[in-house]
Structure formats: structure tokens, C-alpha cells
């Protein structure tokens, strides 16, 4: 990212490795919709000559003197969010906000990201996880952000056995919310989205009903499908600030909303007063940045390596070599109908 609206290549020094850190070399990288919000919408403000990217798997090339569990040559999963695990925020259970709001999101936000020959990882023992040998480098990229974020939406919505769940947005993040809701025992999953490839993937991950936000309001369609009752839980993984209005209106009293969508524009989120039970409807709204951390990465990696979760359907476009990175970035911006996620492979 040269500046808002302009991408290009730049030369930088290889980052220095502190005593707790690691320097890594990507094996494969994936483009995120968040990179698009950051670069073309300026959603987190101006950034000059910042290396984008926060989704990859990598090989460790250097570790600091105090790193215990990783060494050069290790192949690792790299989470998009890399908190400072000794911060007070982490001790309070919100590691993703270590050092301040969203402070655990360092790559391609507060520091250079992973679309680079070498990148820096803080707190290597707390943040990296070994890449299981039966997960290929393309699938491993889905564990940086798509799986943890989609699943966090499920956690924030507190999906329980038998719940009816509305998933607003079925790009790669929403698809992982569909998969996570199914793993957690949802009885009915209503998916909102139109790209045919995503609709097909959502069906395979367990969505039972589909609605389009282009065919009238989401809430009217949800209420029509549920005899006017609404759903138990809503996960928001796409759309703009207006989706909260639909989410509240689609929810039963006592229901919960889990938002993992990055609201790239608009000043306010409006809550409809009447459908929020005039303030007394027990409709909870939770929004959160995905948690990072080694333990979580190891557990989510285990779900993929054991075959309980298949992530291969997410990588719709696979390129080889850095020369294709910009093409992959533009593809993510333009979102053609057959796109789910572009990945660039750099090694096997």
C-alpha cells in the first residue's frame, strides 16, 4: 500500500528480530477483504508505504534468544492477530485489544504485513503454531483469518444445539460461520448472499435456506421463512452498517448477534427501537475481532488436520509466485462471481 487507493512494490530492510520475536518467510499468502477496505476505502486511515497482508503460512528463518519452542526451518501457521500476551488486556481475556482497541491486529495495520519476502512476528511462542504436516500451504492460509474469524462469529452469537441461525454474508468469512454453526449443532442455517460459488459452498457447509439481500429486506424474508418468529442467533459477516437493523428485526427476543464484519464506512449503527423490545427485548449485540494465539491456532489446525473441517473449497483462485500478487489483490477488490478467495503460493 503506497497510500490510500494506490498499490505497488517497494524495497525495505529485512525486519530486526527482538529476543521474543521471529522472522519468517511466507510459503503462501492469501488476500483478505480487510486489505481491500484498508487500501481502497481508507477504512483505518492513511498509511504510507505499508506492506499489506495478514494471511499466510510461513517458514521461520530466525528466532530471538528467548524463543523456546520454534527454530529456523519450522513451518508455521501465522494468525492474522498477534497480541502481546503479557498485556493487561490479554490478562483480562481480550488479547486482541492488547495495547488498545484492535491493538492485536498488527500486520498491515500498525506494522508491515506478510506480503513480503520476510516479515516480523512479535511474541513468537505465544503467536505461532506448528503447521501440521498433512495441511498443504494453501489450506494453511485459511487458518490465519477465515477459520478463526468465521468461527468467532459463531462464538459471539453463542450458537447452541438446535438453534436456528441466520448468517448475513457468505464470502469466505461467512462460509466459515456456516461451517462453525453446523459443527456447533445448529438445526437450521439461513444464508444471505448471491455469488453462485458461495451459495454452492454454503450449501455444502450446511446452510439449509438461502435469501438474497437484493430481493427485498433480509428481515421480511427471514420472517416469512420462520412463520413470523425470527431466528435464535444471527452472525453478521458481510454488508454494511444497515445489516444491524435487519439483524435485530430478524432475531427472536433473547437472541444474540455475533458480528465479525469490518464496518468500512458510515458513522453510526442504528438499532431499531421497537424491534429491540423498546430497549427491553434481551437482544444482545456482540462484535469482535478474531482472537489470535498459539493455542487457538493449534486447536483450529487440529480441526482441519483431522478432517473435521474442510477448507479447500474456499481457495477458488490459486496463483504461483509473487508476480501474481497484485492480480490476486485486484481480483479480491473486484469480486467476480466465481471468486471466494485468492491465494498466492510461493513454495510447496
Q: Which residues bind Zn ion (CB under 5 A)?
A: 32, 34, 145
| Closer residue to ligand NDP (CB): 94 or 118 | 94
Q: Does 34 bind ligand NDP (CB under 6 A)?
A: yes
Q: Is 213 in the site for ligand NDP (CB under 6 A)?
A: yes
**Pattern 45-74, ligand NDP, x by CB under 6 A:** ------------------------------
CB-CB neighbours of 235 under 10 Å: 35
Question: Could you tell me which stretch among 121-129, 257-265, 272-280, 293-301 binds ligand NDP (CB under 6 A)?
Answer: 257-265
| Residues facing residue 29 across a β-bridge | 56, 344
Q: Using CA atoms, how far apart are residues 134 and 244, in angstroms rounded to an integer?
A: 40
Give which of ligand NDP, Zn ion, none residue 139 binds (C-beta under 5 to 8 Å, depending on kind): none
Q: What are phi and psi of 158, to 5 degrees?
A: 60, 50
**E strand or H helix at 319, and its extent?**
strand 315-320
Distance CA 287, CA 94 (A): 12
The residue (of 180 and 239) whose beta carbon lies closer to ligand NDP is: 239
Judged by CB under 6 A, the stretch of 67-75, 116-124, 231-239, 268-276 that binds ligand NDP is 231-239
Q: Does 290 bind ligand NDP (CB under 6 A)?
A: yes
* Residue 167 touching ligand NDP (CB under 6 A): no
Instruction: Give, in order, the Cα–Cα distances in Å from 76 to each of 18, 27, 331.
Output: 19, 9, 27
Q: Where does the chain have alpha helices with state H?
A: 33-40, 88-91, 124-127, 137-141, 146-157, 172-183, 196-205, 218-225, 243-250, 294-305, 325-334
Piece of the chain touching ligand NDP by CB under 6 A; list 19-27, 82-90, 254-262, 292-300: 254-262
CB of 204 to Zn ion, least distance (A): 22
Amino acid at each position: 500500500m503506497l497510500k490510500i487507493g494506490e498499490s505497488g512494490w517497494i524495497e525495505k530492510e529485512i525486519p530486526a528480530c527482538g529476543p521474543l520475536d521471529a522472522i519468517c518467510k511466507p510459503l503462501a499468502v492469501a488476500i483478505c477483504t480487510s486489505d481491500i477496505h484498508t487500501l481502497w476505502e481508507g477504512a483505518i486511515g492513511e498509511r504510507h508505504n505499508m506492506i499489506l497482508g495478514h494471511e499466510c503460512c510461513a517458514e521461520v528463518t530466525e528466532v530471538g534468544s528467548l524463543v523456546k519452542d520454534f527454530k529456523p526451518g519450522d513451518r508455521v501457521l501465522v494468525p492474522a492477530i498477534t497480541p502481546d500476551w503479557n498485556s493487561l488486556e490479554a490478562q483480562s481475556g481480550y488479547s486482541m485489544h492488547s495495547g488498545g482497541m484492535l491493538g492485536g491486529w498488527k500486520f498491515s495495520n500498525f506494522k508491515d504485513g506478510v506480503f513480503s519476502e520476510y516479515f516480523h512476528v512479535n511474541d513468537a511462542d505465544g503467536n505461532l503454531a506448528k503447521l501440521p504436516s498433512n495441511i498443504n500451504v494453501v489450506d494453511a492460509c485459511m487458518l490465519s483469518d477465515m477459520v478463526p474469524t468465521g468461527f468467532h462469529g459463531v462464538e459471539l452469537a453463542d450458537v447452541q444445539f438446535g438453534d436456528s441461525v441466520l448468517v448475513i454474508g457468505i464470502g469466505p468469512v461467512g462460509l466459515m460461520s456456516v461451517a462453525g454453526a453446523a459443527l456447533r449443532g445448529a438445526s437450521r442455517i439461513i444464508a444471505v448472499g448471491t455469488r453462485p460459488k458461495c451459495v454452492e459452498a454454503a450449501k455444502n457447509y450446511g446452510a439449509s435456506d438461502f435469501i438474497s439481500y437484493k430481493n427485498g429486506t433480509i428481515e421480511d424474508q427471514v420472517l416469512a421463512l420462520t412463520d413470523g418468529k425470527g431466528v435464535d442467533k444471527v452472525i453478521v459477516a458481510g454488508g454494511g452498517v444497515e445489516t444491524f437493523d435487519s439483524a435485530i428485526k430478524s432475531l427472536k427476543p433473547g437472541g444474540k448477534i455475533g458480528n465479525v464484519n469490518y464496518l468500512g464506512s458510515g458513522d453510526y449503527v442504528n438499532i431499531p427501537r421497537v424491534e429491540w423490545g423498546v430497549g427491553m427485548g434481551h437482544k444482545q449485540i456482540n462484535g469482535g475481532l478474531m482472537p489470535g494465539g498459539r493455542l487457538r491456532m493449534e486447536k483450529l489446525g487440529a480441526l482441519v488436520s483431522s478432517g473435521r473441517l474442510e477448507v479447500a473449497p474456499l481457495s477458488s483462485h490459486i496463483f504461483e509466485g509473487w508476480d501474481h500478487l497484485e492480480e490476486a489483490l485486484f481480483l479480491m477488490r473486484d469480486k467476480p462471481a466465481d471468486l471466494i478467495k485468492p491465494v498466492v503460493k510461493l513454495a510447496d
